Amino acid sequence: MLDRFKVPDDIAERVNQEDMRHVVEGIFKSFEMPDAEAEAAADVLMYADIRGIDSHGVSNMMRAYVAGFRAGQINPTANLSRTLDHVAALNFDCDRGLGLAQSREMMLAACERAKETGVAVATAFNGRHYGACAYYAHVGLDHDMVGISMTAGGLLVAPTQGAERLLGLNPLGIGAPADKEVPFIFDASMSSVAGNKIELLRRVGGHVLPGWVTDADGNPVMDETQVPQDFMMLPLGGTREIGSHKGFGLSFMIEILCGMLQGTGGGPHRRKGVAHYFMAIDVSRFTDLDGFKKDMDDYLRSILECKPAPGETRVVYPGYPEYEAELDRRELGIPYHPEVIEWFKKTTDELGIDNNLP
């Protein structure tokens, strides 16, 4: 994560991940979410915070979920049910449930089926936000699978050369197992920058960079500036000249695989809530597993050993910075903005939940 999104060290309050996990679970349970679902949801959020994916951790997301519960938009006692089970194809009705609480189960279902079929896909509709898609891609690693996950929800992104919000942020997560090296885990939205990172910028008083957003009329903002009050996100690439058509196409692909593939529409035509997609690929059905992991190690090591460009100190690959963040944050605690800690204190007081936050 770029330094511009991080909480400055001089004001950050470090919190032990178990203390924050306890508080988060307590908040979910206070809205009558069953214990197992509350723990599953908290695990996704803490995964993000421990690995430095702050945009999808508790800082941004818990207040959105609390608002969703209070407004009746999220069903805390949702019944996740299969509506399709056909060989390598599974489909689930999420019953307006929080994706954090349900999606691990669906990714595991894809992994179990892939053991029989080589490749399996689970899709889901009528859902709500599911957090960092890296979490679900990561699940596949424990089963020696290549894990892929996507989700489509919200409308914040304008298509290339457009001035209307017609696309979701539409993140894509891919994980692949290795042997001795840190595994490859890619997680990125198909927008120029993750939408939740805009909230991080606002919290720390940061600026958007050129090509991240538009102004109110749809003109790409090409100067570093404060976050506009009224804006649209640009696709990955920013403008047509530097490749936004690629991000637009990938985002549209995710709309197809998440929503239209299961008959619930795409973009502004989506029906039945947020849609998710989970794929598991059993490596051993395609090649020797040990050989695959050795090939991954060789390739990953070559990236780490790559000669840096002028002015740079090293080269890393997706999953490596998150691994380093996890080592730091498990030892020293997770750095939170004081405003976030104050929100948790206020909210736990309102809900009658004990906490050990600083």
The confidence score (pLDDT) of residue 112 equals: 98
Distances in Å between the Cα of 332 and the Cα atoms of 59, 60, 214, 329, 337 are 18, 21, 38, 5, 15
Fold of 3-351: Ribosomal Protein S8; Chain: A, domain 1 (3.30.1370)
252 SS3 class: helix
Q: Are strands 89-93 and 119-127 parallel, antiparallel or unpaired?
A: parallel
- Identify any residues that bridge with 127 across adjacent strands, giving them in sequence order: 274
Which helix (H) or strand (E) element contains residue 43?
A: helix 35-50
- Cβ(201)–Cβ(5) under 8 Å? yes
Rounded Cα distance, 211 and 213, in Å = 6
Per DSSP, the chain holds a count of helices (H) and strands (E) of 10, 11
pTM, two decimals, is 0.95
Instruction: Of 221, 181, 229, give the one whose Cα is nearest residue 202.
Output: 229
Domain boundaries, the chain: 3-351
Rounded Cα distance, 218 and 317, in Å = 33
| Helical packing angle, 58-70 and 35-50, nearest 10° | 150
The confidence score (pLDDT) of residue 195 equals: 80
Give Cβ neighbours of residue 3 (< 8 Å, ≥ 6 apart): none
**Digitized pLDDT (tens) for each residue of the chain, 358 residues in all:** 777 778 889 999 999 999 999 999 999 999 999 999 999 999 999 999 999 999 999 998 999 999 999 999 999 999 999 999 999 999 999 999 999 999 999 999 999 999 999 999 999 999 999 999 999 999 999 999 999 999 998 899 999 999 999 999 999 999 999 999 999 999 999 999 888 788 778 888 888 999 999 999 999 999 999 888 889 999 999 999 999 999 999 999 999 999 999 999 999 999 999 999 999 999 999 999 999 999 999 999 999 999 999 999 999 999 999 999 999 999 999 999 999 999 999 999 999 998 888 8
Rounded Cα distance, 222 and 241, in Å = 13
| Tokens read off for 219 | 């003109």
CA angle (1 as vertex; 3, 26 as ends), nearest 5: 110
The confidence score (pLDDT) of residue 228 equals: 84
The confidence score (pLDDT) of residue 198 equals: 82
The confidence score (pLDDT) of residue 81 equals: 98
Distances in Å between the Cα of 137 and the Cα atoms of 132, 170, 197, 271, 277 are 9, 15, 21, 25, 11
Distances in Å between the Cα of 123 and the Cα atoms of 25, 56, 96, 276, 312 are 26, 21, 15, 6, 41
The confidence score (pLDDT) of residue 358 equals: 84
SS (HEC) of 136-150:
HHHHHHHHCEEEEEE
